[in-house]
Amino acid sequence: MKEALRKMMIVGAIGLASFLPMKNLKAKAIIQEDTAKTEETQKNKLNVNLNANLANKTRFWGSPFINSPVYTQSLNANYGNFSASIVGETEVNKKKLFNLIVRAGFSQPLSKKISLNLGYLFSNFNLEKGWQKVSMASASLATSLPLNPSITYNRLFGLGGGAYVEGNLSQEIPLTKNTSVNLSGKLGYNDKAMRDRSSFTHLEGNVNVPIKLSDEITLSPYLSYFQPLASDFTKGLNAGLNIDIKL
């Protein structure tokens, strides 16, 4: 009798032990499934933002471009791995729209730490010679390794063609819940893009301070310093203020 009772207790204990994990596993599976569905929904959601930027002057691939205040406004959208933007640039002093840009992009993770980004843009700008059309293709590899190294290759079509390659290192330093400091350093190499020779052209250092005013609005003052590595480039300091609004 005692032996039979002991066996019944053992069987009951095994049954209870097997039931509880199964119940927990089912609950865990439901949670994981819901989390995966949420992440997939967010990934496939259309996100739109409006961005405005005011800079004391601008550079193009490290070379001085507009040496007076420039206002840039863009409307950006992304859905899954795809993105698109419409950009307008205006010379503030002349109250003159001098550049219109339409660009599209695609990003694809290659591993947990490396992603591939492809882009193409059409630009129609108006300086001294009237409106001119150019386009550009780009490909970059970005990583989540220490200092987030990345490299970008740009190919210019129009204005004599040529290419530009840029390496980048960056680091974010959190300050408060809504504020951080983003530091980055860049090295540029120009392969006969709007110049007659190929060489390393400049070093660039950037300090950007995003300040989250709300869930939808981020204000970011920034400062950039350019150190020339080629005789046809000059040193300089650029400053600006950027505001990003999620719609």
| 10 and 61 inside one domain | no
CA distance 54 to 240: 5
| 74 and 10 inside one domain | no
Closest by CA position to 206, among listed 240, 245, 177: 240
Range of the domain at 53: 48-246
CA distance 159 to 70: 22
pLDDT digits (tens, 9 = 90+) for 160-216: 899 999 999 999 999 999 999 999 999 999 999 989 999 999 999 999 999 999 999
Domain count, the chain: 2
Sign of the alpha-carbon torsion through 126, 97, 165, 154: negative
| 78 and 7 inside one domain | no
| 83 and 25 inside one domain | no
pTM for this predicted structure: 0.79
More confident residue, 227 or 32: 227
| 81 and 191 inside one domain | yes
Those residues whose C-beta lies under 8 Å from the C-beta of residue 35, and which sit 6 or more positions away, are none
| 114 and 17 inside one domain | no
| 34 and 91 inside one domain | no
| 19 and 77 inside one domain | no
Those residues whose C-beta lies under 8 Å from the C-beta of residue 47, and which sit 6 or more positions away, are 77, 78, 79, 246
In the predicted structure, residue 22 carries a pLDDT above the cut 50: no
| 191 and 239 inside one domain | yes
pLDDT of residue 83: 97
Range name among 33-37, 119-123, 188-192, 223-227 with the lowest pLDDT average: 33-37
| 16 and 77 inside one domain | no
| 106 and 226 inside one domain | yes
Closest by CA position to 87, among listed 108, 107, 105, 64: 105
| 68 and 106 inside one domain | yes
The CATH number assigned to the domain holding 60 equals: 2.40.160.40
pLDDT of residue 173: 96
In the predicted structure, residue 37 carries a pLDDT above the cut 70: no
Band (32; pLDDT cuts 50, 70, 90): low
pLDDT digits (tens, 9 = 90+) for 58-112: 999 999 988 999 999 999 999 999 999 999 999 999 998 999 999 999 999 999 9
b/e per residue 227-247 (b: at least 16 CB within 10 A): ebebeebeebebebebebeee
